[in-house]
Structure 1
Amino acid sequence: MGLFTRTALDDESDGKRERWLQRGHSSEVAFDAVEFVDGYAVLRWDTGRGGLGLAHSLTTGNASCREVVRALRHRHGVSLIDRYACLVAAQTATQVAQPYVPQLLAYDIDGSGTQYETRWAQLAAALGQPAPYWFHTLRDRDAIAAWRPGSAPAVVPARDVATPITALTELAADEPDGSPVAEVCWYLAREVRRRDHTLVTRQIAELRKDAAGGGDGAHLTLGAVPASLLRPTPPEPTETVRRAGWLSIIERRDVLAYRVADFAQHWDGGRDWHTGAVTDLYPVSCTTAQEWAKRLTPAADDQPPTVLEKGLLRHADDADVLLHDPITSLPVLHHSPGGRNARFYTYSLQRLPTRSPLAAVVLSGSGYTCWIRTQDGTLWLAPEREGSGIGFGYSGNGCHILARLIDVLLDDISASAARSSDPAAPRGLFELLRDTPCDRTTTYTRAQLLAARTN
């Protein structure tokens, strides 16, 4: 919404109600303090027209005016209107075009309840001086708390508030020499720091270019600049080291491992984990799922959950039961056991840990589930990457990915889960899966699959 846009909620008596920031500079402006509330840092000024707050989120790049006002109202109650007349929230950017200039949104506490755009020049006019901005990679709580008008920019390590690396460094610090866990964590921490430093250095340069040209960036001051990087980022660990490190982490049961795992999910979706997508299975309508379920055993209930177990338990109800698959060593959540909506949730693997060749593929129409049976009789869920998806009975991307997967598993049972960018499977194999009925369970033997591949 533009700065001068009005809504039906504005003062209808004369249609000329001004935004608070439009009223210009007050002769009585004094910086008060920094208030921290629900993950936001709010810098407050006293003016002759009421309190003005400038908020920065300490957890994401952008702050919502309504969320900040809600948090402040929860703290101050009815006295909020006496403390704040206007709230301004800092964002990460204003436009796609360069140079980079951060955006501002504003909210008049006694106004229409509408969040609206404003500019740094407008905010500076209300304060009689430029207001400070902290890039989201430089939002150090202590540095913001210490800021006062006229302060030189604080020098802080560049670190994105949305991807904190503290858990990585703490976990690595406790590992023995040569630990793949430590190697993975140290690499990621330094790589994140390098990327954040590169990003904010470029953004500051763009902002200064805008300011030199008389743009809106000339009406703000930097609250912080990045500290120098004194150590180069080492080469990325090999895939073997990365997978070994993550396998150790996700089998752990401590809070620090949970935090590191959460970081990985935000960073790359757990690319180097041995697990892939979460799959739901329906034993009521799938006899293959019933066969698989018979091998499940109760999970340990006398200790905290592993990282993987915790991932499943986030969506559990009180009646759900945590189980263990002894073949894959993966957790399984039995949802609504005994009920009409009973189902299992578990992880697929990115690779099958077996040397026994593929003997058959079982396609269950219930949930579009693909099972792999190896020559030793073991039943496996087909390998699947998070976000890729596999399917059959249609000509979409999921069917292409499943065809690629089966094509490589016929030659190498331990091959990695297929990607959409992998080479296309033979046309005959794809057409076989495309034409498979979705309302029943279909089994294709190795011989049938090989024949389709050469068709």
Structure 2
Amino acid sequence: MGVSSSYLSKTEVQEMLGVNAFGLWRLVRKYDDYPQPTEPPHNPFAAFGENKEPEEVWDGTQLYRWAAGTPEFSHRGALLLRPLPDDLAPGRWGGYMDTARGSALDWHTALGTIRIVHSDDREVATRVASALVKAGNPDGVRSVCALYGDMGFTGPALVAADIAHPGIEYEAEWGHVAALAGQALPWWPYLLRLPELIREWKPGAAAVVAQVPSNNNEKILRRVESNDAFDVTSHLAVRDMANDIRNSRTDSVEHENEIFGKEGYGETPNPVVIAAEPDTTGHPLRSGGDREVRKSGWHKLALSNHPDAVAALEVAVGREPGLLPYGALTEVPDRPGTIISRWARRLTMCDPTAAHAVLAHGDSAEAFFIDPLTDMPVLRTTGEGRQPAWRFYAPLSLPAGGAELASAVLHHTMWITTSDGHVHPAPCTPTEHLWWGDGWGDRPSEAASVIDALLDDLAATVNLREHWRAPKGLTALFNEEHKHATELTRATLLHARMTPPRTR
């Protein structure tokens, strides 16, 4: 997506403009807007300690655009930025073409054949143009356009690369190309940018109604939904998420068509033809059902050892981790004689579940455990070239049983000791993290917010959506550069909560 950078040496500039060294010297004095040379791109492979003075280079896109707008050199500048002739003959559709970077349509125009590749991947225009040059340009294409991935003033923004200089990309106007083609140009929304749809299009055709393809996540969830190894609650949970994915994808296509098919900024409508619309039969599908029921279904999947449960859980962790009974993923080193080893002594070895498999995330694990007090899955791993470590999900809340917070210990994460002698990783929501010290302008208000809640109720379920509202004194305390193994007693924490931070 976007225009790729290119740089031209002095010799390449002379070749582009058709001038010698003296002519180039003259341009600098004749045109005030002539592009100035720039710093060459950094070359990481340059010889170490090389003191050679870098040669001057010019931004290829900038120079190519300048030439197109300068009468003396417009015939050497960007093809699709040159002024259109007054007696412009209308172009005609040239048919469908396959390219290595996506589906394309050709348009035969007064300036020659323009190939539009319906893709917004990066460097599509220059890659397709370069491939044509290498193949001898058998189709006589003059310029290749690709989608920029944004909206311009006259329609979808375009990136172009001319056959004359395939390594230089520049932005082109959709309306300019449409004027050359003599008609409005077709546009397909991203999820319906399918070869079978683009291949069948012809000028004047009505927008085709097509089913939005399922992505991998929806396919996984539909597979789990039809798997009898899981109960009805789990089926409901995955169906709800699969329906939400389908609704989002259908809504996305409709929204894209609204944006890219809008009439335009002025009185003249944009020359855009919406070529495909989503099939909205039954849309929207039912989703957003009872949250507690869905959470129960996902909890059962997390405890399963079926491979499909692992795949479904990976989708949920990435899409809506709040439905799972687990907090933030945390990893700490295995350190004997520390609070970490004190906590680890109570872990119970177990067979791996889907939650363990997702927690491992492809890394090898020595053993699998469960924390019997919080039911959090834990594994012991040695990553490549690393020391042994414990990896676990932080709990969302702690068991209280009448106890209260005794202290907070800072050792690679925040640990809570309780008045009845237990040690727990501090609770944390799945999308946050607990830390302390100078955060380069940020402040550890998440940790302060957790402590604020636990001081009042050890069993509190933390909510960090408004962590910045944590008491300023606690936030200031955790903003200090505490060493690992620092223990902050209940008295220290209560005092900090009651004490406003000193102004500097």
TM bin, normalised by shorter chain, reads 0.7 to 0.9
Answer yes or no: is the 8 Å Cα contact 2:377–2:393 preserved in 1: yes
Q: Secondary structure at the match of 1:52?
A: strand
Q: Secondary structure at the match of 2:393?
A: strand
Change in CA separation of 1:250 and 1:454 when aligned onto 2, cut-off 3 Å:
same
Change in CA separation of 1:140 and 1:173 when aligned onto 2, cut-off 3 Å:
farther
Q: Secondary structure at the match of 2:156?
A: coil
Deviations 1:90-126 (A, max 9, x none): 244326xxx9943222233552523321122233345
CA distance in 1, matches of 2:129, 2:348: 46
Answer yes or no: is the 8 Å Cα contact 1:388–1:398 preserved in 2: no
The equivalent of 1:190 in structure 2 is 243
CA distance in 1, matches of 2:472, 2:491: 17
The equivalent of 1:247 in structure 2 is 299
The equivalent of 1:107 in structure 2 is 161
CA distance in 2, matches of 1:259, 1:198: 25
The equivalent of 2:263 in structure 1 is 210
Asked if 1:282 corresponds to 2:333, the answer is: yes
Any stretches of 5+ residues in structure 2 without a counterpart?
A: 18-66, 68-72, 500-504
CA distance in 2, matches of 1:100, 1:30: 22
CA distance in 1, matches of 2:409, 2:418: 14
Deviations 1:215-239 (A, max 9, x none): 5x63232120122343555462333
TM-score computed with the length of structure 1 as normaliser: 0.74
Asked if 1:54 corresponds to 2:101, the answer is: no
Answer yes or no: is the 8 Å Cα contact 2:103–2:118 preserved in 1: yes
CA distance in 1, matches of 2:338, 2:209: 63
**CA RMSD between the two structures:** 4.5
CA distance in 1, matches of 2:129, 2:323: 39
Deviation of 1:419 (Å): 0.9
Asked if 1:332 corresponds to 2:379, the answer is: yes
The equivalent of 2:151 in structure 1 is 94
Any stretches of 5+ residues in structure 1 without a counterpart?
A: 57-61
Deviation of 1:348 (Å): 2.0
CA distance in 1, matches of 2:136, 2:293: 54
CA distance in 1, matches of 2:467, 2:184: 53
CA distance in 1, matches of 2:280, 2:326: 37
Residue 45 (structure 1) aligned to one of 100, 106, 111: 106
Q: Secondary structure at the match of 1:410?
A: helix
CA distance in 2, matches of 1:407, 1:250: 30
One-letter amino acid of the counterpart of residue 19, structure 1: A
Change in CA separation of 1:28 and 1:298 when aligned onto 2, cut-off 3 Å:
same
Q: Provide the identity percentage.
A: 21
Counterparts of residues 210-359 of structure 1 (less than 5 Å): 210=263, 215=268, 218-230=270-282, 232-234=284-286, 236-252=288-304, 256-257=308-309, 259-268=311-320, 270-284=321-335, 287-294=338-345, 306=354, 308-314=356-362, 316=363, 320-327=364-371, 328-336=375-383, 341-352=387-398, 355=401, 357-359=403-405
Asked if 1:360 corresponds to 2:413, the answer is: no
Answer yes or no: is the 8 Å Cα contact 2:407–2:417 preserved in 1: yes
Answer yes or no: is the 8 Å Cα contact 1:275–1:348 preserved in 2: yes
CA distance in 2, matches of 1:79, 1:106: 19
The equivalent of 1:59 in structure 2 is none
Deviation of 1:79 (Å): 2.9
The equivalent of 2:447 in structure 1 is 402
One-letter amino acid of the counterpart of residue 197, structure 2: A
Answer yes or no: is the 8 Å Cα contact 1:26–1:47 preserved in 2: no
Residue 209 (structure 2) aligned to one of 144, 152, 155: 155
The equivalent of 2:96 in structure 1 is 32
TM-score computed with the length of structure 2 as normaliser: 0.68
One-letter amino acid of the counterpart of residue 273, structure 1: L
Q: Secondary structure at the match of 1:31?
A: strand
Deviation of 1:243 (Å): 1.9
Deviations 1:194-220 (A, max 9, x none): 4454454455345454259555x6323
Q: Flag the structure with larger Rg.
A: 2
Residue 179 (structure 1) aligned to one of 228, 232, 235: 232
Change in CA separation of 1:283 and 1:189 when aligned onto 2, cut-off 3 Å:
closer
